[in-house]
Structure 1
Amino acid sequence: MSEAQGSVQRSIDRAKVLDRAHISGMIAQAVVLIAVLLTLLIDEKYHDLLAAIGSIAIAGVFMLQLTLRRVALTIRAREAENFRQTRDSREQIQELFAMTDMLQAAETYEDAGAVLMATSRRLLPGYGTALYVFNNSRDRLDLARAWDMPDGMIAQETLSPSNCWALKRGKPHINAPHQATLCCAHHASQIASVELPMMACGQLHGLLIITHSETDGAFERLMSVRRLGRALADSMSLALSNISLREKLRTQSLRDPLTGLYNRRYMEDALERFVSLGSRTGASTAVIMLDLDNFKKLNDEHGHAKGDAVLRDVAAQIVGCLRPTDVACRYGGEELVAILPDCSLEDALAKAEMLRERIESLGTSHACAISASLGVATVPETATSATDILPIADTALYAAKKAGKNCVVAADKRAGRDAPRLTTIKPGKLA
């Protein structure tokens, strides 16, 4: 934007120089005319001619005054227009700086979209805008936010990068059907729009679409706002890059890269939190610990790639079976843990049996025997705190291994809880 200010100032200076040169030329002509008149005064035979020339000179002086006044008004109007443009540019720069400052505090794509919406409404009143962001697999763009879209143009929920000329070229692209421009395949409206790719650190992060409801002169109107739109897109691209990096780092610090489940550190924090909350509300917190049977043999016979695929599918089965409030974690190796807040021992046993059946069914798709042994423990039925519930669930897990594998075992209930010790659920039935 500083280059724009410099360009405006240079235009003002050039206009002043030209106007001054024009005025100086007119004054020089007037001086020559006066010199000619003085010369003619010497000879009396030129009195009549002098009178005529004097009349012409007086008229010329009046014309010169009018011309000078018109030039002065033109200079003032031009300076006023240049001042207005400079003031508008300065206000736009201030808005962009304020937007950049706010985006530094944005933690999510929703926060960044809200900042962009507030800024674009001030800088581009009357224009509709849609913000698209790449998904994690980067095979499509999802609509993050849209506002003030004109009638007849609906922001699509998803876009394919292969259908967008702006993304394929990495440059702004204008879709103006009434001006017979080349339009993107996803542009299904007769309303013109300019699409601006958002790129930062050599990578595309999203797409910004700006549109206007009027069709007359739509191409020229969008061309005039393209530079400002690019400034908005550049500021947003840096914010999206930072948010994406933070999300990636957060995911790496909390998730297991192979299964996508939470890691052990997050599991310990979540378990402590759920047990503390349950102790205040009187609700039970259950833990299901499972271990894949004969997993080493599976790796030796079918290779580690097959073992990794089995672990990923087992993790998917666990996530699909649990509630949104439950937490699934990878405890280590082929041992996985599910934390079920507000869940009794009986309900946890039923859930564990469902998990066992789902895991066993994976053997058909992988063409090998797959099963798991599961141990169940709860606070306060079988344990007293988050510290001892995991060892108790682990003890129940090894009891399931000794019982023949591919079964569910519940840990001993504490004294006075009226429950059998180490309840074992054989495949196909619940105790």
Structure 2
Amino acid sequence: MPTAYQILEAIAISQQNTRELQRSQQMQRLFLDKGPFGAYIKDEQSRVLYYNQELQSRFLVDAEKWLGKRDSEFLPDPEEGRRVMENDQIVLKTLQPLKLIEEVKIPGNDQPCYWLSFKFPFSDGATGDRRIGGISIDITESIEAQRSLTELNRQLAEKALELEQKKQELIYLSDMADMLYSCESEDEVYQVVALTCSKLFPNMSGCLCIISNSKNYVQMNSYWGDGKTTKEIFSQSECWALRRDKLNLLSPRNSGLVCNHLIHPVSGAHLCIPLFGEGEIVGILYIYSLEEISPEEQQIAEIVARTLGFTLNNISIKQRLTYDSLRDGMTQLFNQSYMETITEQRLAEADRSGESVSIIFLDIDNFKSYNSRYGHVTANIVIKGLAKLLLTSIRSFDIACRWGGEEFVILMPNITLENLRKRVEEIRLDVEKMQLRDGDQILEGITASFGIAVSEPGITVKNLLNRANQAMLEAKRTGKNRVREYVNTCN
């Protein structure tokens, strides 16, 4: 029979676990309710079981109004509700996540809103029933920007019919718009614009000058033509277009303001056009000509600048959405989904090249007691500190991911087993020596257990990760704070 002290101790532990569970649930609910996205849970009949404050505020409803109802019952347009429910059924039928753009009307707004929605199936841990989870992000601004770009292309097509002599110029602009729409990075955008401007203004030179992220200086990012007539790096105050937020033209027939970024002696015609992206100026399109810059050429340059601004805005939105979907919110390391995807790619490359891929699975030792001692907020400092250490301890082409909780995974391609052992042991020692602080408070140090697995031809992502995880668990079992390699006992 347990003693009274043992019973009281068990009760105290149970109460502590209950409080920790309640705190965790409160944090989860706070995250869902305060996030700038719509979140919801539905049952197998698409009846709403939960929706967060973002949806409540968008649709002007309270926390109870939609519960137990289907989308077709509360959305302003029943047809929209039917489409949403059809997508729900696809998720339940395939048991696979679904990513799509949904058009939804919001009360009090005549224009529809567009949501980038991620729907996924899961099981209720208490009942075993299937559920549909959803996260929706408002991308109306991006859709409108794309429509603006489409409208600009339409205007360019009409201009081509009206001005046959400008047909070739409009073809160049149309080609530029098509290429910009396919660009995935700002560097690609700069290359496309420089190439197009060299065709549109064959007797001129120019460049794109972009404001740095720090806002402290402007830097030339791409150039075309012969002879540079502007500084490669200068301050924003040296350009009148940036100071006044409007076009600045200096030419023999237009005695405009002389920008201080121009290289002396100043002659010919100089045109600076501000680039607007995401509601702010991000740089200038600069064009230089020995002769005058005609009103038609100036108009074309403005079209290029406007299109470039739309594109930079789209790129920024796309990169932000992509970044958020691939990263762990706390540590900014890659997340589990991305790690599984990139590991599959690396394994395919390894099979073709005859190389190998190594996986390191690591878990912080005794982290539950650490949580109990310091609390979740302080314990999160440890998670972030370890993530930062991992990023500084791996090669530029290695990939670190937060697997979940206090578990991390590192993918290391093209490394010998000897060097792998040495590198992982160095990381283990770095973790052991890591100094942790919460403000002025010095925190207790941590250790981690590491598991190593090296790929074999034909191995799956799941098996490789399982092997590394098994090795890590063996490190835990044999004393923690050590490195263990997976040993295939079947061979």
- If the TM-score is normalised by the length of the shorter chain, which range does it land in? 0.5 to 0.7
Structure 1 stretch displaced more, 319-328 or 220-229: 220-229
Equivalent residue, structure 2, for 1:20? none
For residue 221 of structure 2, what is the amino acid of its counterpart? A
Equivalent residue, structure 1, for 2:359? 287
Determine if the alignment matches structure 1 residue 129 to structure 2 residue 206: yes
Q: Output the CA distance in 1 between the equivalents of 2:384 and 2:347.
A: 28
Distance of aligned partners of 1:316 and 1:144 in 2 relative to their CA distance in 1, 3 Å threshold? farther
Q: Output the CA distance in 2 between the equivalents of 1:298 and 1:380.
A: 34
| TM-score when normalising by structure 2 | 0.56
Equivalent residue, structure 2, for 1:372? 447
Distance of aligned partners of 1:267 and 1:86 in 2 relative to their CA distance in 1, 3 Å threshold? closer
Given candidates 401, 406, 411, the residue that maps to 2:486 is 411
Aligned-pair distance for 1:396? 2.5
What secondary structure, in the 3-state scheme, does the structure 2 residue paired with 1:363 have?
coil
Select the structure with the greater relative contact order (CA < 8 A; seq sep ≥ 6). 1
Q: Output the CA distance in 2 between the equivalents of 1:162 and 1:255.
A: 37
Determine if the alignment matches structure 1 residue 261 to structure 2 residue 330: no
Distance of aligned partners of 1:258 and 1:381 in 2 relative to their CA distance in 1, 3 Å threshold? same
Aligned-pair distance for 1:233? 0.2
- More helix by percentage: 1
CA deviation vs aligned residue, 1:329-385 (integer Å, no higher than 9, x gap) = 111122110011233443322111121233334315663233332323323579954
* CA contact 2:231–2:262 (8 Å) conserved in 1: no
Aligned residues: 328
* CA contact 1:149–1:211 (8 Å) conserved in 2: no
Determine if the alignment matches structure 1 residue 349 to structure 2 residue 421: yes
Q: Output the CA distance in 1 between the equivalents of 2:324 and 2:207.
A: 30
* CA contact 1:379–1:385 (8 Å) conserved in 2: no
Q: Output the CA distance in 2 between the equivalents of 1:289 and 1:397.
A: 6
Equivalent residue, structure 2, for 1:181? 257
Equivalent residue, structure 2, for 1:76? none
Q: Output the CA distance in 2 between the equivalents of 1:329 and 1:98.
A: 39
Equivalent residue, structure 1, for 2:232? 155
CA deviation vs aligned residue, 1:308-348 (integer Å, no higher than 9, x gap) = 44433422322232223322111112211001123344332
Aligned-pair distance for 1:231? 1.6
For residue 409 of structure 1, what is the amino acid of its counterpart? R
For residue 396 of structure 1, what is the amino acid of its counterpart? A
The equivalences for 1:237-276 within 5 A come to: 237-276=309-348
The equivalences for 1:39-50 within 5 A come to: none
* CA contact 2:452–2:483 (8 Å) conserved in 1: no
Q: Output the CA distance in 2 between the equivalents of 1:211 and 1:302.
A: 63
* CA contact 1:274–1:341 (8 Å) conserved in 2: yes
* CA contact 1:200–1:241 (8 Å) conserved in 2: yes
Given candidates 368, 377, 388, the residue that maps to 2:463 is 388
Structure 1 stretch displaced more, 277-286 or 227-236: 277-286
Equivalent residue, structure 2, for 1:99? 176
Aligned-pair distance for 1:412? 2.8
Determine if the alignment matches structure 1 residue 167 to structure 2 residue 270: no
Aligned-pair distance for 1:92? 4.3
Aligned-pair distance for 1:274? 2.6
* CA contact 2:363–2:472 (8 Å) conserved in 1: yes
**Identity of matched residues, %:** 27
* CA contact 2:202–2:225 (8 Å) conserved in 1: no
CA deviation vs aligned residue, 1:237-284 (integer Å, no higher than 9, x gap) = 112222222222222222223322221112112222333443444433
Equivalent residue, structure 1, for 2:430? 358
Equivalent residue, structure 2, for 1:198? 275
Determine if the alignment matches structure 1 residue 330 to structure 2 residue 402: yes
Distance of aligned partners of 1:406 and 1:198 in 2 relative to their CA distance in 1, 3 Å threshold? same
Aligned-pair distance for 1:406? 3.0
Q: Output the CA distance in 2 between the equivalents of 1:409 and 1:126.
A: 66
Q: Output the CA distance in 2 between the equivalents of 1:188 and 1:297.
A: 65
Q: Output the CA distance in 1 between the equivalents of 2:418 and 2:347.
A: 18
Between structure 1 and structure 2, the one with the greater Rg is: 1
For residue 316 of structure 2, what is the amino acid of its counterpart? S
| TM-score when normalising by structure 1 | 0.62
Which stretches in structure 1 are left out of the alignment for 5+ residues? 5-84, 417-431
Structure 1 stretch displaced more, 134-143 or 332-341: 134-143
Aligned-pair distance for 1:413? 4.4
Determine if the alignment matches structure 1 residue 114 to structure 2 residue 186: no
Aligned-pair distance for 1:145? 1.7
